[in-house]
Amino acid sequence: MPGDALSQDPAELRRRIDTTKAHPARVYDVFLGGKDNYPVDRSAAAAAIVANPTGYLDVRHNRDFLRRAVTTLTQEAGVRQFLDIGTGLPTQENVHQIAQRITPESRVVYVDNDPVVLAHARALLTSGPEGQTDYIDADLEEPARILEEAAKTLDFEQPIALVLVAILHFIEDEAAYPIVRELVEALPSGSRLVLSHLTEDLNAENIRAVQRTFTERGFTFVLRSRAEVERFFTENGLEVEEPGVVPVHRWRPDGAAPLPEKVDPAYFATLDDIEKIRYRDINDVTDADINVYGVTGIKP
pLDDT of residue 2: 43
pLDDT of residue 116: 80
What percent of the chain clears pLDDT 70, i.e. is strictly above it? 94
pLDDT value of residue 10? 63
C-beta separation of 237 from 300 below 8 A: yes
- Give the per-residue pLDDT at 123: 67
Query: What was the pLDDT predicted at 126?
Result: 72
Nearest to 170 by CA among 214, 212, 201: 214
Q: How far is CA 258 from the centre of its chain?
A: 17
DSSP state, 27?
A: H
Is the Cβ–Cβ distance between 110 and 84 less than 8 Å? Answer: yes
pLDDT digits (tens, 9 = 90+) for 96-115: 999 999 999 999 999 998 88
Which parts of the chain are beta strand (E)?
81-85, 107-112, 132-137, 161-165, 192-198, 239-240, 246-247, 292-298
Determine contact, residues 94/70, Cβ cutoff 8 Å.
no
> Residue 281 in contact with residue 260, Cβ under 8 Å?
yes
pLDDT at 274: 86
Q: What is the pLDDT of residue 22?
A: 84
Tell me whether strands 81-85 and 161-165 are parallel, antiparallel or unpaired. Answer: parallel
Can you give the pLDDT at residue 127? 76
Enumerate residue ranges in the chain where pLDDT < 70.
Answer: 1-14, 92, 122-125
What is the chain's mean pLDDT, rounded? Answer: 90
